[in-house]
Structure 1
Amino acid sequence: MKTNRRNFLKQSTAFGAAAALGPSLYAGAARASGEIEVGILFSLTGGLSIIEKSLADATMMAIDEINAAGGVNGMTIKPILEDGASDPKTFNEKASKLVIRDRLQTVFGSYTSASRKAVLPVFEKRNSLYFYPTYYEGFECSKNVVYTGAVPNQQLSNFIPWIINTLGKKKFFIVGSNYIYPREMAKVSKILIEQHGGEWIADEYLELGHSEWGAMVSKIKESGCDVVLSNVVGDSVVAFYREFKNQGLTHDKLPICATVTSEIEIAAMGPEFAVGSYTSFPYFQAIDTDRNRAFIERYRKYVNDPNAVTHHALESSYFQVYLWKQAVEKAGDISADAVREGIKGQVFEAPNGTVTVDPENLHTYLTPRIAQWGADGQGTIIDEYKEPIEPLPYVAYGETPDNLFCKGTGLDTAKL
């Protein structure tokens, strides 16, 4: 049976109490109803809801699919949905409610690093588990988070050399929203730009949600750059690209190469503002496989929108629920400690391809791809790796497959 978001919001305060562990296979308290409660924490209101509503939908879609197929070892997943309201403080409050009052062992949520950082102390203090689906800046090692989005070596280590060597662009104007993700991604980018013979001539920021981009685009025009590296997030992406075109800039001469702009932002701004620009992600709706086409069809049917678009963070929100299911079934327990052990090395055939949870750092093996945006609002994939690559959250600080900083025993701070 399909879950309705509005019903979730009405019922969320009533779900409460201890996490439902179901049959005697599971350790701890059990309920005769055979339900497992999990939290869903995304922004359903505010500037970031342009993205995060779709992440909540994808999470609920996976839950409904699993329940329709018999649940988790016969138990029904019962979600408790909370609204982070595009505000880190609210995210912290809602996370505390889910973990402390509702006593949940697992929560799926967040889009921005600001919201992830806001909730992280809650999960670490209470030893609960947080599944984070968004590409992020790395530089984090927590046994209480499973990271299913791309880290910089899966998004930038392919992108920066490609921009310099294939596009022939070497003078970078870096622009972003003013919080940790854009600033850390800029730090990684600068290292890569210099390593590959390019130069960055500016590194500028506007507040998250900022909509007045006239002065910034003028600064870009006057800078002498030949490529813009965009780490702009949320509805600011729409305002930025529109102003870019309004001031006469075109992507064939001065392309925006983005780490954030996806199908959903392009649908919101209008494809004509992004034609010819580029993005690096492990997942694009344009992936030409039967598995992905079936996923797109199911998602559109689920949200009752034949034109709905899928994108990287949405796809990660979907498949991470299946990784959790597999971990619970392997562990025979829903406690955070048991699921953490059970999820190590888990493999799932996702719409983007094969994904695997690294048993050391709880990040995910993903396949880097680059796409150029067309007039139809879709990306044409013009570069992709042959197979998934290992996640290295500290690549900017010298981490390599043979010299890991983040392991199951924790972060080796001596290497930083």
Structure 2
Amino acid sequence: NKTKGAKTFYLLGSDYIWPRTSNKIARKHIEGHLQGAKVVGEEYFPLGSTQFNSVINKIKLTKPDVIYAIIVGGSNVAFYKQLKAAGIDLSKQTLLTISVTEDEIDGIGGENIAGAYACMKYFESLDNANNKAFVPAFQKMWGAKTVIGDVTQAAYLGPWLWKLTVEKAGSFDIDKVAAASPGVEFKGAPEGYVRIHENHHLWSKTRVGRAKLDGQYELIYETADLVEPDPFPKGYQ
């Protein structure tokens, strides 16, 4: 918002708890913390939906500064193709998603989403020593054309964090492992250094990438420090 000066936002999501909760937090932030900003639309779609022309027409009429999209899975293929077919140019219309990784772009096609922004912890294109080793090793195992997104990296982190926590606890007992988890560090994460918070979420950097034609994201912003995980911020419930 600091760089775009956005005032109007259209919130979209698949119809289940994660998009609805994320948009509830987004709405509170937009209306309570961004001066003069407002939500001009909020809509949800059943999982697997492939018809988005009605909401795309509303977007064309309301001309929001930002489309905030939390549509998941295969629905994304239809949504972004229909956006492009309707003449919405993502090099001019700001769209921010938290649900489209490189894996989804494999199905969407880079040409249908280039220019969109995504907020994630991890992108395959990250330039750090851990990731430079991880990507070729992953592709050697799963195929040279395999892409790696934020969710894939999270699935890789899980067993490592569990291993480190089990070793710290000296036990496989679930309660003991949970009690031992705060403060556990993983220095080999493809995204960089991470550690576990008392609430069992991860301290990580927040990053924004911009989708390119080749299906990768160009990193355009990252926080200087790790961000404290706060899944249900006070005042946003």
TM interval, shorter chain, is over 0.9
Q: Distance between the aligned counterparts of 1:331 and 1:252, measured in 2?
A: 50
Q: Distance between the aligned counterparts of 1:388 and 1:246, measured in 2?
A: 39
Task: Give the aligned partner of residue 122 of structure 2.
Answer: 283
Task: Give the aligned partner of residue 342 of structure 1.
Answer: 180
Per the TM alignment, residue 186 of structure 1 is displaced from its structure 2 partner at its CA by 0.7
Counterpart of 2:135 in 1: which secondary structure? helix
Task: Give the aligned partner of residue 240 of structure 1.
Answer: 79
Aligned residues: 234
1:289 maps to a residue whose letter is N
User: Residue deviations 1:9-61, cap 9 Å, x none?
Assistant: xxxxxxxxxxxxxxxxxxxxxxxxxxxxxxxxxxxxxxxxxxxxxxxxxxxxx
Per the TM alignment, residue 261 of structure 1 is displaced from its structure 2 partner at its CA by 1.0
Per the TM alignment, residue 290 of structure 1 is displaced from its structure 2 partner at its CA by 2.0
Per the TM alignment, residue 299 of structure 1 is displaced from its structure 2 partner at its CA by 1.2
Q: Residues 372-383 of structure 1: matches in 2 within 5 Å? A: 372-383=210-221
CA RMSD of aligned residues (A): 1.3
Q: Which runs of 5+ in 2 are unaligned?
A: none
1:331 maps to a residue whose letter is A
Per the TM alignment, residue 376 of structure 1 is displaced from its structure 2 partner at its CA by 1.2
Task: Give the aligned partner of residue 133 of structure 2.
Answer: 294
Q: Identify which of 344, 363, 367 aligns with 2:205.
A: 367
Q: Distance between the aligned counterparts of 1:314 and 1:175, measured in 2?
A: 24
Per the TM alignment, residue 171 of structure 1 is displaced from its structure 2 partner at its CA by 1.0
Task: Give the aligned partner of residue 265 of structure 1.
Answer: 104
Q: Residues 9-408 of structure 1: matches in 2 within 5 Å? A: 164-194=1-31, 195-197=33-35, 198-303=37-142, 305-349=143-187, 350-358=189-197, 360-395=198-233, 397-398=234-235
Q: Which runs of 5+ in 1 are unaligned?
A: 1-163, 400-415
Counterpart of 2:193 in 1: which secondary structure? strand
Per the TM alignment, residue 224 of structure 1 is displaced from its structure 2 partner at its CA by 2.8
2:201 maps to a residue whose letter is H
User: Residue deviations 1:265-306, cap 9 Å, x none?
Assistant: 111111001111100011111110121021111111121x10
Per the TM alignment, residue 222 of structure 1 is displaced from its structure 2 partner at its CA by 1.4
1:227 maps to a residue whose letter is V
Q: After the TM superposition, which segments of 4 or more aligned residues of structure 1 sit over 3 Å from their partners?
A: none
TM-score, with length taken from structure 2: 0.94
Q: Distance between the aligned counterparts of 1:331 and 1:187, measured in 2?
A: 37
Tell me if structure 2 keeps the 8 A contact 1:226–1:253.
Answer: no
Q: Distance between the aligned counterparts of 2:15 and 2:68, measured in 1?
A: 15
Tell me if structure 2 keeps the 8 A contact 1:238–1:268.
Answer: yes
1:188 maps to a residue whose letter is I
User: Residue deviations 1:336-378, cap 9 Å, x none?
Assistant: 01211222210002110111111x2111101001011111111
Tell me if structure 1 keeps the 8 A contact 2:50–2:75.
Answer: yes
Aligned sequence identity (%): 33
2:26 maps to a residue whose letter is S
1:279 maps to a residue whose letter is A
Tell me if structure 2 keeps the 8 A contact 1:228–1:256.
Answer: yes
User: Residue deviations 1:168-203, cap 9 Å, x none?
Assistant: 322111111111111111111111112112211000
Tell me if structure 2 keeps the 8 A contact 1:174–1:202.
Answer: yes
2:172 maps to a residue whose letter is I
1:361 maps to a residue whose letter is N
TM-score, with length taken from structure 1: 0.55
User: Residue deviations 1:226-258, cap 9 Å, x none?
Assistant: 221001111111110010001111012212210
The structure that has the greater radius of gyration is 1
Counterpart of 1:353 in 2: which secondary structure? coil
Q: Distance between the aligned counterparts of 1:219 and 1:257, measured in 2?
A: 17
